[in-house]
Amino acid sequence: MDSDSKFSVQYTHSIHRTPIIEKYSIDDNMNIVLDEVVFESYGVGVSSDLEPGQTFTEENGKFIIGNMNRRFPFFDQRIAQMVGTHILKVNNREISLADLSPPGSWLRFQAAKETAWQRVERRLSKWEIIINPNR
């Protein structure tokens, strides 16, 4: 899988105020796949049990649940309003989700194939955040 089909979302947990990194990829059917979650402490909303096939490691003081293989046609993300900010990391770029939509609002993440014309238009526009594994 090439790097164009991978991205992550980093945010600060609203209760225990520590960073969470969710790492995703796009599969051949254009599903978003949650591959891995990295966190520093357990708390409300943080997985504490492993499902079959998942892995758990500790690295540099961080806990990593890997091989999650959770597939979604899309997912919605609420933009941080009170604690920290959500950061989208894709293609070696970091984009604050608050720059795309106001804090407190929702963004929908969904993979889509891109035509050649859409690719040209995107490169001419201000934002280049489409995740396209079929370049």
Domain boundaries, the chain: 3-124
pLDDT value for 132 = 47
pLDDT, position 43: 62
Residues ≥6 apart with Cβ < 8 Å to 73: 30, 31, 32, 110
Task: Output the pLDDT for position 48.
Answer: 66
**Bridge-partner residues for 63, per DSSP?**
39, 58
Residue pLDDT, tens place only, 8-25: 999 887 777 788 999 999
Give residue 33's pLDDT band: very low, low, confident or very high (50, 70, 90): very high
Enter the DSSP assignment of 123: H
What confidence score (pLDDT) does residue 35 get? 97
The predicted pLDDT at position 125 comes to: 63
